[in-house]
A and B are shown apart, each in its own frame.
Chain A
Amino acid sequence: MLRRSFYALFLAGAACSGGGTAPAVTSLDPVAVEEACAGVEPVLANRAPRRLRRSTLEHAIEDLVGASVPASILLPPDFATGPFEGASEGMTMGPAWANAWLGVVQDAIDATDAVPAPLARVVPQGSQVLPMEMATDPDPWVVTMSATSTRTVLEVTEPGPVTLTLDAHAIVYWNDEGTPPVGAPPVVTVLVDGTEVARFEVSDETQDGAVMEASTYLRAGTRTVDVVFLPTEVYRIATDGLLVTPVPSLPAWAEGCEDMACLREELERLVQRAWRAPVDAESVDALWAIVEEAPSHMEGLSRVLEIVLTDPRFVFDLGSGDTAHDRAATLAITVWDSLPDAGLMACATAGGLGPSDPGPCGGAAQLQRMLEDPRAMRMARQVAVGWFDLASLTDAFARDDLDDALRAELVEESAAAVLDALRNNRSVGELLLGATAWVSDATAELHDVADPGSASPSPVPSGDRGGVLRSAAFLAASGDAGRVSFPHRGRVVLERLICQPTGDPPNGLDATAPMAGDAALSASELRRADPNCSGCHTTLDPVGLALGGFDEHGASVDRWWPTDATVLPDGTRLESVPRLMVWLASSHRLGPCASTWWTAWVDGIPADAPRSCAVDGLLESPASIDSGMGDLLWAALWSAPRLTPSTEG
């Protein structure tokens, strides 16, 4: 039970309080941890159904139909049970949320691009050319100026809006005296069932003709289309006729379909992907009937999309964890913050995606493929913000001392570092304390390194600024406009990197209150001398002051403290950043802490003891500073109870 008590300390308890004793950072022998964990049974029960995160819903819509809708903003936030959204306990649900969701669905439909389609085959009547036969005298110089019209009967089986296009030009007939023609330009009118729907004034300014367009709507059934040329004394017109073209009437996600069978197949694929499961023929039949009965394909497919996105199988993760499709869904939700793609769905259909499955459809191969995909950046970005407490960099109103572009770039650099570590299975220590800085041209100066010659995050060797701990993003996020709160910075290091709870100040004092320079040091001395404060600040302050050589933007500054200001209660001196790094590394908490962040991302809530032991059970050795980041994600994923492969295969 050593393990259980370790994690209890690790994750929740032992927060220092006003007059309490500061929790010592416990050094734990990994072997002892492993032995203790052997007595803890992993939780095998399924997790409660949960609603998809707002960000997942946003990405799912984007990946499904190509529509960009800011669902993360439009939807009310969830009840936070941990550092990330995603736990069933925290999911907001109610009429207001449902109403907001219906609005998002409508936005998705509106934002789904319509594309031209080769409708000649999709739409039975297709594009029509209505010929215009001009009544002319055999002698071209003698024109019969009588009314001219042509009539065409259309069988409209696919009602909907159409574009009428007339490419025509007028030909002028001069009179015998050679005087300029007089009279209004010729006019062509289009009538549908006797009602004028378009009128074109034909220009004589060009012999090449002019393309004129008008729109109308053709109802289903037999339609009579008359094209009438109203004659004048001096004109006739030249044209190939009137072109009747249905307006683009396929959503972008069905682009390329040339017949109804294709359209139905696309629909079925979309539904299966949206619901992350095979869909029976009856459901597809019901949806297809809506398409067939709608006034147009576009309208029908929009209605189907509304149904698909409103269905609980889209909005909620209802999978029991027993099937390959459930595993595909969880992989996609976790790594891409979205829906499975065609590859994952195909592997699921083939029954793959198990952690020990070999080949390209095995869980390992698919996870690596997904990490290499740019969509994995969505996960890396959110994990970086949650793990390293970068929220102040994502809040447009929290830091008016940093411009939007710089804040965004700092977050991107942290995310890039995380994703790189995942892809290459770099160790926890390398990510957090290593010798590689992720910088761009915009942030190189902050990191005291040369421009990498790239506007996007790039790895740069840096013995002084490598690793997340010394990154400008981490240091800037723990600062404030114009000032740094060193206790707060210490708190972030303790809580985020070694998962050591620090508690809240007594009497509601705000721990985030920043303080600068000598005042900060004086305040620190006072806090550590005050028995009401010393319980926490004898640890918080030295840790924060060890990073005192970085300002509120993460840039190096020339700032030194008296040595005793950075001494921990156990006598450890943290007077420099390297000493802090050694202390963190020797705490044996960096690895387990990193592991809990990954389980928190997978589960939406911090891991409890059995869950953490289940993670360790999948690692070659318990999580440590040497654990690979990819391995930690892998273990968090496959130890999740709902991902345990069933005997049904």
Chain B
Amino acid sequence: MTWSRREILTALTAGAGTLAVPTPVRAATLSGVTARLMVVYLPNGLQARDVVPAGSTLDDPLPTGLAPLAPWVDHLTVVSGLHSVTSSASNLHAAAAGAALTGEDLHAGSFTGANRGRSMDQVAADAIGTASPIPSLVTCSEGLPVCPPDVGWTARDCLYQNHVSYRGLDDPRPVETSVSAILRQLTGRPDGTEAARRRIALDAVARDAKRWSPVLDAAQRAVVDSWMSHLSEAIDATQAAACPVSDADAALFLEADQAIGAHMDAMLRLHALALHCDATRVGVWSPGREFSRRVLPAGSLGLSHHAVSHHGGRTEYLDDVTEITVWHMDRVAGLLGALAAMPTVAGHTVLDETLVLILPGFGDGQVHAPVGIPAVLAGGSALGLPGGRHLVATGTKLASLHLAILQMLGLSLTRFATTSQPLAIW
């Protein structure tokens, strides 16, 4: 019998609860405001020159890469100079993606931080996400995970490269890439009839499994137990999620698979819808995978984002990188626009109550190093996040930014990953 490390850990934790991660205490709700978090993870790096302004404000001219976000300039904060953890991994994409939201070097196989490899979005989901049917919605607008069989990557490389959201060691949140599947999840029948019937069916399956599963070996048992728990969570989510979908949105979703941009716009519209109807309060979206060879409809060289990110200082490559950044930010602008048009019960907009974090795994794509990372914060004015600023945070850990964000969301955390120093974003 050969076991993967993940299987062993799954088997060990099966029936013994989840890893003992300290549960953050949820802070008091701020005058009826429902705190939400939306993370946009940009693969293959983000050039500082495209999004970092020269001064400490976002006065004109905005960096080219932020131009699409101009309507919300008063709700933007650019943070520059961040750094993530270094890794001994040869696959820098995997190291960067794995560390971006966890603040940990996942390749080390052990953790030193307080969250023990749980990514900041999942820490948030544990605190603010549990009040909604779907604790967190993690999506990507590229189908198959990228793991070329010919480059000698390990399974762990491939795992980390394709995930940014983690519950713990080797336990990524499933990345949803199907618009239709999410749509189905978000528009579960409001009367609960379907969920109730599914619950009856699940109970029947569970009763029978109790009888036949004792003969299974540990690996088989782990799979069966996991499946039953996932079904249960899925049914609970379906029971309460009931987001109305307008005809216009339905048309958008139907066309989601027609083009890359359409898929991204549809996926982000789904995120907005989910945040608005309180189907979830935590979202993570990435437009694509690290190292993807997919060519985006931006840039003039006809090369993939990854290919041009290794610009080698060549102007035409850097120009393409800028164009791709603008194209990505165009998609993000759609998200911000949608959130800004959605009123909340507290009299704000969903954008006011949502802290939107836009970040890459590393800065300059040429070197693929987790330093000089720019991040953009948007929205969140009702949570106390000012806008129109550029914060220079040279040498500051990404984890410090995450800690500050989690505190702003109302979590009474004092540490995240290996830091207890929140970045002063308020």
Same complex for A and B? Answer yes
Q: What are 20 pairs between A and B in contact, CB < 8 Å?
A: A13-B152, A15-B151, A46-B1, A74-B178, A77-B144, A79-B159, A96-B181, A97-B174, A98-B227, A102-B198, A103-B181, A286-B207, A303-B197, A310-B205, A311-B209, A312-B227, A318-B224, A507-B310, A513-B303, A514-B302
In the complex, B392 has a CB within 8 A of chain A: no
Is A98 in contact with B159, judged by CB distance below 8 angstroms?
Answer: no
What's the least CB distance linking B314 to chain A, in Å? Answer: 10
In the complex, B307 has a CB within 8 A of chain A: yes
Report the separation of the CA atoms of residues A287 and B112 in the bound assembly, to the nearest whole angstrom.
Answer: 50
Is A307 in contact with B201, judged by CB distance below 8 angstroms?
Answer: yes
In the complex, A512 has a CB within 8 A of chain B: yes
Is B204 in contact with A48, judged by CB distance below 8 angstroms?
Answer: no
Is A15 in contact with B174, judged by CB distance below 8 angstroms?
Answer: no
In the complex, A92 has a CB within 8 A of chain B: yes
Q: A89-B4, A98-B231, A306-B198 are in contact. List 14 more A-B contacts (CB 8 A).
A: A12-B149, A48-B2, A51-B223, A75-B178, A80-B145, A93-B227, A96-B174, A98-B234, A100-B178, A312-B228, A320-B220, A397-B259, A509-B303, A513-B302
Please report which residues of chain B, range 1-33, place their CB below 8 angstroms from some CB of chain A when the two chains form the complex: 1-4, 7
Task: Pick the interface stretch among B211-219, B345-353, B377-385.
Answer: B211-219
Report the separation of the CA atoms of residues A74 and B310 in the bound assembly, to the nearest whole angstrom.
Answer: 35
In the complex, B64 has a CB within 8 A of chain A: no
Is B312 in contact with A48, judged by CB distance below 8 angstroms?
Answer: no
Please report which residues of chain A, range 494-528, place their CB below 8 angstroms from some CB of chain B when the two chains form the complex: 495, 501-505, 507-510, 512-514
The interface residues of chain A lying within 8 Å CB-to-CB of B175 are 76, 92
Is B1 in contact with A45, judged by CB distance below 8 angstroms?
Answer: yes
The interface residues of chain B lying within 8 Å CB-to-CB of A586 are none
Report the separation of the CA atoms of residues A74 and B204 in the bound assembly, to the nearest whole angstrom.
Answer: 25
In the complex, A99 has a CB within 8 A of chain B: yes
Residue of A nearest to B231 (CB): A98
Residue of A nearest to B314 (CB): A507
Given A282-B211, A509-B310, is A76 in contact with B150 using a C-beta cutoff of 8 Å? no
Report the separation of the CA atoms of residues A290 and B237 in the bound assembly, to the nearest whole angstrom.
Answer: 25
Q: Mark B288-317, 1 if CB is under 8 A from A, else 0.
A: 000001010000011110111110100000
What's the least CB distance linking B215 to chain A, in Å? Answer: 10
Report the separation of the CA atoms of residues A508 and B201 in the bound assembly, to the nearest whole angstrom.
Answer: 50
Report the separation of the CA atoms of residues A606 and B153 in the bound assembly, to the nearest whole angstrom.
Answer: 13
Given A74-B180, A79-B162, A96-B176, is A504 in contact with B204 using a C-beta cutoff of 8 Å? no
Is B149 in contact with A99, judged by CB distance below 8 angstroms?
Answer: no
In the complex, B47 has a CB within 8 A of chain A: no
In the complex, A83 has a CB within 8 A of chain B: yes
In the complex, B147 has a CB within 8 A of chain A: yes
Residue of B nearest to A287 (CB): B204
Given A15-B150, A501-B150, is A95 in contact with B155 using a C-beta cutoff of 8 Å? no
What's the least CB distance linking A598 to chain B, in Å? Answer: 16
Is B233 in contact with A77, judged by CB distance below 8 angstroms?
Answer: no
Report the separation of the CA atoms of residues A82 and B150 in the bound assembly, to the nearest whole angstrom.
Answer: 9
In the complex, A49 has a CB within 8 A of chain B: yes
The interface residues of chain B lying within 8 Å CB-to-CB of A80 are 144-147, 158
Is A310 in contact with B181, judged by CB distance below 8 angstroms?
Answer: no
Among B151, B220, B308, chain A packs the most CB atoms within 10 A around the CB of B220
Report the separation of the CA atoms of residues A606 and B178 in the bound assembly, to the nearest whole angstrom.
Answer: 27
Pairs of residues from A and B, 8 with the lowest C-beta to C-beta distance, nearest first: A508-B310, A94-B174, A510-B307, A99-B234, A100-B181, A98-B234, A95-B233, A98-B230
Is B312 in contact with A507, judged by CB distance below 8 angstroms?
Answer: yes
Is A320 in contact with B217, judged by CB distance below 8 angstroms?
Answer: yes
Is B174 in contact with A76, judged by CB distance below 8 angstroms?
Answer: yes
Residue of A nearest to B181 (CB): A100
In the complex, B274 has a CB within 8 A of chain A: no
Please report which residues of chain A, range 344-364, place their CB below 8 angstroms from some CB of chain B when the two chains form the complex: none
Q: Mark B121-145, 1 if CB is under 8 A from A, else 0.
A: 0000000000000000010000111
Q: Mark A102-122, 1 if CB is under 8 A from B, else 0.
A: 110010000000000000000
Given A93-B230, A316-B227, A507-B310, is A75 in contact with B181 using a C-beta cutoff of 8 Å? yes
In the complex, B191 has a CB within 8 A of chain A: no
Given A76-B176, A96-B174, A306-B201, is A318 in contact with B220 using a C-beta cutoff of 8 Å? yes
In the complex, B235 has a CB within 8 A of chain A: yes
The interface residues of chain B lying within 8 Å CB-to-CB of A512 are 293, 304
Report the separation of the CA atoms of residues A178 and B212 in the bound assembly, to the nearest whole angstrom.
Answer: 82
- Count of residues in A whose CB is under 8 Å from the partner chain: 65
In the complex, A315 has a CB within 8 A of chain B: yes
A residues near B, CB below 8 A? Answer: 12-13, 15, 43, 45-46, 48-49, 51, 73-83, 88-89, 92-100, 102-103, 106, 280, 282-283, 286-287, 290, 303, 306-307, 310-312, 315-316, 318, 320, 397, 495, 501-505, 507-510, 512-514, 606
Is B194 in contact with A312, judged by CB distance below 8 angstroms?
Answer: no
The interface residues of chain B lying within 8 Å CB-to-CB of A78 are 144
Please report which residues of chain B, range 86-143, place their CB below 8 angstroms from some CB of chain A when the two chains form the complex: 138, 143
The interface residues of chain B lying within 8 Å CB-to-CB of A514 are 302
Report the separation of the CA atoms of residues A82 and B309 in the bound assembly, to the nearest whole angstrom.
Answer: 26
B residues near A, CB below 8 A? Answer: 1-4, 7, 138, 143-152, 155, 158-159, 162, 173-178, 180-182, 184-185, 194, 197-198, 200-202, 204-205, 207-209, 211-212, 216-217, 219-220, 223-224, 226-228, 230-231, 233-235, 237-238, 258-260, 293, 295, 301-304, 306-310, 312, 365-366
Is A74 in contact with B181, judged by CB distance below 8 angstroms?
Answer: yes
What's the least CB distance linking B211 to chain A, in Å? Answer: 7
Given A74-B178, A503-B151, A504-B151, is A95 in contact with B230 using a C-beta cutoff of 8 Å? yes
Residue of B nearest to A48 (CB): B219
The interface residues of chain B lying within 8 Å CB-to-CB of A286 are 204, 207-208
Report the separation of the CA atoms of residues A89 and B229 in the bound assembly, to the nearest whole angstrom.
Answer: 19
Given A48-B219, A102-B235, A508-B307, is A96 in contact with B205 using a C-beta cutoff of 8 Å? no
The interface residues of chain B lying within 8 Å CB-to-CB of A508 are 306-310, 365
Given A96-B234, A99-B238, A283-B208, is A79 in contact with B145 using a C-beta cutoff of 8 Å? yes
Among B149, B152, B197, B198, chain A packs the most CB atoms within 10 A around the CB of B149
Residue of B nearest to A514 (CB): B302
Is B208 in contact with A311, judged by CB distance below 8 angstroms?
Answer: yes
What's the least CB distance linking B207 to chain A, in Å? Answer: 7
Is B143 in contact with A77, judged by CB distance below 8 angstroms?
Answer: yes
Is A100 in contact with B173, judged by CB distance below 8 angstroms?
Answer: no
What's the least CB distance linking A317 to chain B, in Å? Answer: 10
Report the separation of the CA atoms of residues A510 and B152 in the bound assembly, to the nearest whole angstrom.
Answer: 18
Partner among B155, B177, B230 whose Cβ is within 8 Å of the Cβ of A94: B230
The interface residues of chain B lying within 8 Å CB-to-CB of A82 are 149
The interface residues of chain A lying within 8 Å CB-to-CB of B180 are 73-74
The interface residues of chain B lying within 8 Å CB-to-CB of A280 are 212
Report the separation of the CA atoms of residues A99 and B134 in the bound assembly, to the nearest whole angstrom.
Answer: 11
What's the least CB distance linking A75 to chain B, in Å? Answer: 7
Residue of A nearest to B188 (CB): A99
The interface residues of chain B lying within 8 Å CB-to-CB of A94 are 173-174, 230
Is A106 in contact with B194, judged by CB distance below 8 angstroms?
Answer: yes
What's the least CB distance linking A530 to chain B, in Å? Answer: 13
The interface residues of chain B lying within 8 Å CB-to-CB of A320 are 217, 220
Given A99-B238, A102-B231, is A81 in contact with B147 using a C-beta cutoff of 8 Å? yes
What's the least CB distance linking B107 to chain A, in Å? Answer: 17
The interface residues of chain A lying within 8 Å CB-to-CB of B181 are 74-76, 96, 99-100, 103
Given A46-B1, A97-B174, A306-B198, is A509 in contact with B185 using a C-beta cutoff of 8 Å? no
Report the separation of the CA atoms of residues A306 and B204 in the bound assembly, to the nearest whole angstrom.
Answer: 10
The interface residues of chain B lying within 8 Å CB-to-CB of A315 are 227
Given A45-B2, A100-B184, is A310 in contact with B201 using a C-beta cutoff of 8 Å? yes
Is B205 in contact with A307, judged by CB distance below 8 angstroms?
Answer: yes
